[in-house]
Chains A and B, each alone.
Chain A
């Protein structure tokens, strides 16, 4: 490298130092202690145990349960919930009148801007036995139940839909606004109905946005902790214990940092796969 290009790269230094020390460092450390038996308390040294933590994980019913719940949580709240509802809201907004659009947008975005823990409390109150959902069901003479006890994973999934839909809505609104009006109007004159226009014109034209949005939603959903922690603490029992909560319990309640980190590493690997796919989608931009 020439001295000139070195001088030019100088402003990168502070960011680079921070990223290496506090992001790359912990990830490398994560990859190391996942293969040790490091524990939380009063132990002088830890030893290398190879793939033992991973073997334990795949024999551990708690881990397999957490994998399954994470899958349910991701599919229900991110793929089916946020993504579909976000697209539906964005396309309805294209046709709705301005006051309704502004009002709905405002409410949905407020849910998104609220701090995670506050969102957790609001949805906790909503789903509790004495909460608003059951009050509504009573009003309609429908059977009520203790949602956080009987269907905790669905309750937290709906909470995540409530909290995260605004992002998809914004992404899809931006994408839909870029479709030239002439194309949809031409199809309309040719007699293509709403669903057919959606399927044959709109969806293919925004497919890049759909890909990006699905990736980002999934990544965000994989790392949800506070929302579930506040609503159920992963309970009752382990009925809403997704991987981040399982990892936390192993590392801190059970003092098995090595094992908890092995779980974290698996989560990180899954995240990396999604991340790489996301980069491929964006590759033309770099």
Chain B
């Protein structure tokens, strides 16, 4: 048997790899194709098909304050507020953990790591019962506080790892000049770890924006519902499902998180750095 030259073998292998990837991509793209084509289709149904003409009618139909703008605004208040709280608390907490040695650092970090992997879904029933008792049920502030708390362990963990990457020497100079912890954090450390803060912010926001179970359990009034819950109305009360409108709403609702992801992924050179951050 003739030995194939290495270069030839490499090329064949690349073609095989391309073919394999394209097969998976074709399977994965079908549901995405459905949502895009149906949103533009005046007579959308449940399967991927060439639209019967192209229309923006579905978008026009859903872009009302009741169906789209109010839920999106609710999502923004809920997730924006909780993200802000998460990032501020995480940055503050990460600073002593990253900068000072203490006997308590290790047990604290271990607890944080333990909490990052707890299934939050499991505690929603007791959280509901607790919120009824302390009168936080059906309030935006209660939901924001819970959202922030549930995202905090991972945010602290990520933030601390990013902060460890900022060299200590710069701050030591500032300390000798009399700057306190808060000043060095705000003036020196955070500006130097911009990409890290961006990752924590975007990751927290994206997780909350897509979260269905937490607002579904903790909010009751329809007017307060974020888009993740209100989208179910397309099935419930409005009778026959208008699939084109559902698809259009899905696109409007998903666009912000996709844009945020692209923004961060591009700044960090792809991969989101998240794969690396949790890889271990």
Contact = CB atoms under 8 A, between A and B. Distances in A.
A208 interface: yes
A132 B125 contact: no
A276 B212 contact: no
A85 B21 CA distance: 11
Interface string A197-230: 0000000000011011001100100111110011
Contacts of B38: 125
A135 B126 contact: no
Interface stretch (A55-63, A75-83, A88-96, A149-157): A88-96
A174 B122 CA distance: 31
B122 A271 contact: yes
A261 B117 contact: no
Interface string A153-170: 000000000100001001
A22 interface: yes
B32 A122 contact: yes
Given A173-B275, A264-B122, A208 B129 contact: no
Nearest to A4: B100
B2 interface: no
Given A5-B102, A19-B153, A22-B150, A11 B96 contact: yes
Interface stretch (B10-18, B52-60, B61-69, B190-198): B10-18
B73 interface: no
The SS class assigned to the B binding surface is helix
Interface size bucket, B side?
35 or more
Interface string B101-129: 01010101110011101111111111111
Given A14-B93, A131-B47, A170 B106 contact: no
A286 B22 contact: no
A208 B272 CA distance: 20
Nearest to B231: A117
Given A29-B126, A104-B24, A114 B210 contact: yes
A148 to B, nearest CB: 11
A66 interface: no
Contacts of A100: 17-18, 21-22, 25
A8 B232 CA distance: 47
B276 interface: yes
Interface in A255-278: 257, 260-261, 264-265, 267-268, 271-272, 274-276, 278
B275 A5 contact: no
A116 B25 contact: no
B117 A267 contact: no
B34 A125 contact: yes
B96 A12 contact: yes
Contacts of A94: 17
B37 to A, nearest CB: 10
A135 B37 CA distance: 16
Nearest to B209: A115
Contact of A122 (B88, B92, B250): B250
A130 B45 contact: yes
B20 A92 contact: yes
A117 B17 contact: no
A208 B34 contact: no
A18 B152 contact: yes
Contact of B14 (A96, A128, A274, A282): A96
Nearest to A277: B117
Interface of B: 13-14, 16-18, 20-22, 24-25, 28-32, 34-35, 38, 45-49, 85, 88-90, 92-93, 95-97, 100, 102, 104, 106, 108-110, 113-115, 117-130, 145-146, 148-150, 152-153, 156, 181-182, 185, 206, 209-213, 216, 227-228, 231-232, 243, 246, 250, 253-254, 257-258, 261, 271-272, 274-276, 278-280
Q: Which 4 A-B pairs have the closest CB atoms?
A: A170-B275, A22-B149, A115-B210, A223-B119
15 contacts: A9-B96, A9-B104, A12-B96, A14-B89, A14-B92, A21-B149, A33-B129, A104-B21, A117-B210, A121-B250, A135-B48, A170-B272, A174-B275, A194-B13, A244-B119
